Amino acid sequence: MQMSYAIRCAFYQLLLAALMLVAMLQLLYLSLLSGLHGQEEQDQYFEFFPPSPRSVDQVKAQLRTALASGGVLDASGDYRVYRGLLKTTMDPNDVILATHASVDNLLHLSGLLERWEGPLSVSVFAATKEEAQLATVLAYALSSHCPDMRARVAMHLVCPSRYEAAVPDPREPGEFALLRSCQEVFDKLARVAQPGINYALGTNVSYPNNLLRNLAREGANYALVIDVDMVPSEGLWRGLREMLDQSNQWGGTALVVPAFEIRRARRMPMNKNELVQLYQVGEVRPFYYGLCTPCQAPTNYSRWVNLPEESLLRPAYVVPWQDPWEPFYVAGGKVPTFDERFRQYGFNRISQACELHMAGFDFEVLNEGFLVHKGFKEALKFHPQKEAENQHNKILYRQFKQELKTKYPNSPRRC
């Protein structure tokens, strides 16, 4: 009898130990799964569960810190700069997508976050006091409800120096206070915004595109500086990281990402095969094709579309820089800044490419990655009221090239 009781006790103890072992193995499996798919599962988690009150408080505290000083004036004294409305931790060896936008054009961030898997930095320009208030409310709403915004996006604000941005009250404006998800924020922004050309603001304030570009690129090693209404090819960030991580030979090289534009009614191509098919039937064409063909022609689009398909991103061919080529590129190291005297439209990117050339950088076109601008740029619809400012920048560009001769006296290159 006692022997039977002892056997039963031993059996139950063995069963309990087995159950505990199974539970421990399950916990170990979940831990390993979390490590392998941490970011993906975190994103899924936040889709179902809203951010905690503590994370919202942190966002508000961060905004308050950025806005409390009243910003700093730029070199011209015309603009007030607020750095770090949103901040994100970035690997110093990472590739940052740097862009700029008016408040109304922030709705394009949604598409950029879907395609670009790495860190993103955006500089926002608010032309009026009301837009400055809206920008801070949007920063609050987007970072509160969009996990990707909190994890991967840095945001800066620029407004005319006579205005100051204020800490947002989440109750104002009221239409944003009731939103509860990331999609709702972007949907609401799409309804209230009037997207268009960044520098066609309908105000007397000049759009400081080069100030915004420098601000977005600030602190980055490698950066791809693009317009906010462009979309990168799928996997471009991963391909760039792999290529740059495998070698340190890219110092002094501008890795050119070919740029195209597409009819607005079309779905954005994800890979080169889709892009080439649309290119061959005229639904996609080189960027600026209808406005300034020489500005992108050196990219050599006919050569690029006929390159053999490859799985790895790499430079395919070297292109000597020539005026007025203004490619979109990835470069690290001592990359010259954009000259902030150029505002509105005209010569703002050409001038920087010209200096990059004189500073000794070589231009190599990538084989697979690309950018696509949303919509064809048509001359008849393009900034007709900005001709005077364009002429001013044209004169400034001639002066700028003379200044470069003094800045780089030993350079054999010329613009």
Which of the given ranges, 30-39, 59-68, 161-170, 342-351, has the highest pLDDT on average?
342-351
Classify residue 19: in a domain, yes or no. Answer: no
Q: 267 and 186 in one domain?
A: no
Domain that holds residue 282: 231-414
Are residue 177 and residue 92 in the same domain, yes or no? yes
In a domain, 24, yes or no: no
Q: Does residue 50 lie within any of the structural domains?
A: no
Q: Is 246 exposed, middle or buried (0-12, 13-18, 19+ CB in 10 A)?
A: exposed
Domain count, the chain: 2
Residue 111 and residue 156 in one domain: yes
Are 217 and 322 in the same domain? Answer: no
CA 204: distance to chain centroid?
27
Of 209, 228, 247, the residue that ends a domain is: 228
Q: What percent of the chain has pLDDT over 70?
A: 79
Look at residue 39 and tell me if it is in a domain. Answer: no
Cα–Cα distance for residue pair 184/228, rounded to 1 Å: 20
- How confident is residue 9, by pLDDT bands cut at 50, 70 and 90? low
SS3 of residue 121 by DSSP: strand
Last residue of a domain, one of 173, 208, 228: 228
What length does the chain have? Answer: 415
Which of 228, 246, 275 terminates a domain? The answer is 228
Both 145 and 281 in one domain: the answer is: no
Strand order from edge to edge, sheet including 253-256: 72-73, 79-86, 153-160, 120-125, 95-102, 222-225, 329-331, 253-256, 362-366, 315-319
**Same structural domain, 345 and 239:** yes
For residue 290, the tally of other CB atoms under 10 A from its CB is 15
Q: Quick check: is 391 in a domain?
A: yes
In this structure, the answer to whether residues 211 and 74 fall within a common structural domain is yes
For the chain, first and last CA: distance in Å?
102
In this structure, the answer to whether residues 402 and 342 fall within a common structural domain is yes
Q: Which two tokens stand for residue 258?
A: 């070919």
The pLDDT value given to residue 312 = 93
133, 149: one domain = yes
Confidence of residue 168 (pLDDT cuts 50, 70, 90): low
Which residues is 362 bridged to in the sheet? 253
Report pTM. 0.83
For residue 29, being part of any structural domain is answered with no
Q: 223 and 90 share a domain?
A: yes
Q: Could you tell me which of 238, 201, 237, 39 has the C-alpha nearest to residue 124?
A: 201
**296 part of a folded domain:** yes
221 and 261 co-located in one domain: no
pLDDT at position 378 is 80
DSSP state of 298: G
pLDDT tens digits for range 279-304: 999 999 999 999 899 999 999 999 99
Which residues touch 397 (CB under 8 Å, ≥6 apart)? 342, 346, 347, 350, 351
Q: Across the chain, what does the average pLDDT equal?
A: 84
